[in-house]
Amino acid sequence: MADQQADSKIRIMLIEDDPDWRRGLAAYLNGQPDMQVIGEADSAETALAVAPTAGADIILLDIMLTDSPDGLRLASELSGSGAQIIMLTSMEDRAFVVEAFRAGAVNYLVKSDFTAIPDAVRSAAANRSSIDSSAARLMLEEFRRLKKLEREYETDKFKRLLTPSEVQLLSMIHDGYSQTQIAEKSFLSLRTVKNHVNNILRKIGVKSSKEAAQQAKDNELF
């Protein structure tokens, strides 16, 4: 009967280099009626040697091992072990959160909220893990930051494609002026205006001057 109860428990492996925290967390999890810590490791090397054959359902993995984020690399290497990986950390870092999920983690928890760990373990073991709210917030912030950087890069690249006179021409097109009207206002020949437009279309890679003007507007050139 005791063996059956042990078999029904969620088997957990702890990978943590702080012995006091590891000991305390192990005691806390072993105190849960449906959990059992079956293995521990204090370094990436030990974890790689033990985890593949430990038979754990869940791996609780600290991001920082020996003062470096080795946990991220380790998560990637252990993602094929059959165990669900939950990352633990002492800090909230947007980049770490994103990298943790890229490495194959199913959740990311801050250590100070240790009371949330048992429920996160149960959810992961049942394959219904939901991302911790703080991790979701950090991921959203990081994605927004990356999106902003991408936008700024695309805008800068677009600006470098065009000369000031070409930007002015596109602004006039966006305002509804025809090429004939642009030629008259700019004291240019219609042929010159057409050549400018063709050069712009070639640079940007679009088929119409209106589309080019809209892209310039979207990239805040005017």
Question: Which range (18-27, 102-111, 175-184) has the least confidence?
Answer: 102-111
Hey, is 13 helix, strand or coil? strand
Q: Token pair 């702890």 is at which residue?
A: 14
Residue 191, pLDDT above cutoff 50: yes
149 within domain boundaries: no
Q: Domain with 187 in it: what CATH number?
A: 1.10.10.10
Number of domains in the chain: 2
Q: Which domain, by its residues, includes 120?
A: 2-141
Judge contact between 82 and 104, C-beta under 8 A. no
Q: Give me the amino acid identity at 147.
A: K
Residue 43, pLDDT above cutoff 60: yes
Residue 129 corresponds to which tokens in the numbers above? 């893990």
58 within domain boundaries: yes
**In which order are the strands placed within the sheet that holds 10-15?**
35-41, 10-15, 58-62, 84-89, 107-110
CA-angle at 59, arms to 57 and 62, nearest 5°: 170
- CA distance linking residue 13 with residue 124, whole number of Å: 13
126 within domain boundaries: yes
Q: 52 vs 36, which has greater pLDDT?
A: 36
pLDDT of residue 112: 84
Q: Is 80 found in the same domain as 38?
A: yes
Q: Is 176 found in the same domain as 115?
A: no
* Residue 67: partners with Cβ closer than 8 Å, 6 or more residues away: none
Q: Domain with 119 in it: what CATH number?
A: 3.40.50.2300
Q: 19 vs 138, which has greater pLDDT?
A: 19
pLDDT of residue 71: 85
Q: Is 24 found in the same domain as 79?
A: yes
Q: Is 212 found in the same domain as 116?
A: no
Of 120, 119, 54, 112, which Cα lies nearest the Cα of 86?
A: 120
- CA distance linking residue 173 with residue 202, whole number of Å: 17
- CA distance linking residue 33 with residue 25, whole number of Å: 15
Q: Is 128 found in the same domain as 172?
A: no
Of 142, 161, 162, which Cα lies nearest the Cα of 150?
A: 142
Q: Is 61 found in the same domain as 14?
A: yes
137 within domain boundaries: yes
Percent of the chain whose predicted confidence (pLDDT) is above 70:
86
- Reported as a pLDDT band with limits 50, 70 and 90, residue 134 is low
- Reported as a pLDDT band with limits 50, 70 and 90, residue 92 is low
- Reported as a pLDDT band with limits 50, 70 and 90, residue 4 is very low
Which of the listed ranges 19-33, 115-129, 153-167 does the model predict with the highest average pLDDT? 19-33
- What sign for the dihedral angle of Cα 91, 92, 98, 104? positive
pLDDT of residue 138: 60
Residue 147, pLDDT above cutoff 80: no
- CA distance linking residue 54 with residue 39, whole number of Å: 7
Average pLDDT over residues 95-113: 80
147 within domain boundaries: no
93 within domain boundaries: yes
- Crossing angle of helices 190-204 and 209-218, rounded to 10°: 60
Burial zone of 100 (CB within 10 Å; 0-12 exposed, 13-18 middle, 19+ buried): buried
pLDDT of residue 129: 54
Q: Is 126 found in the same domain as 203?
A: no
153 within domain boundaries: no
Judge contact between 34 and 78, C-beta under 8 A. no
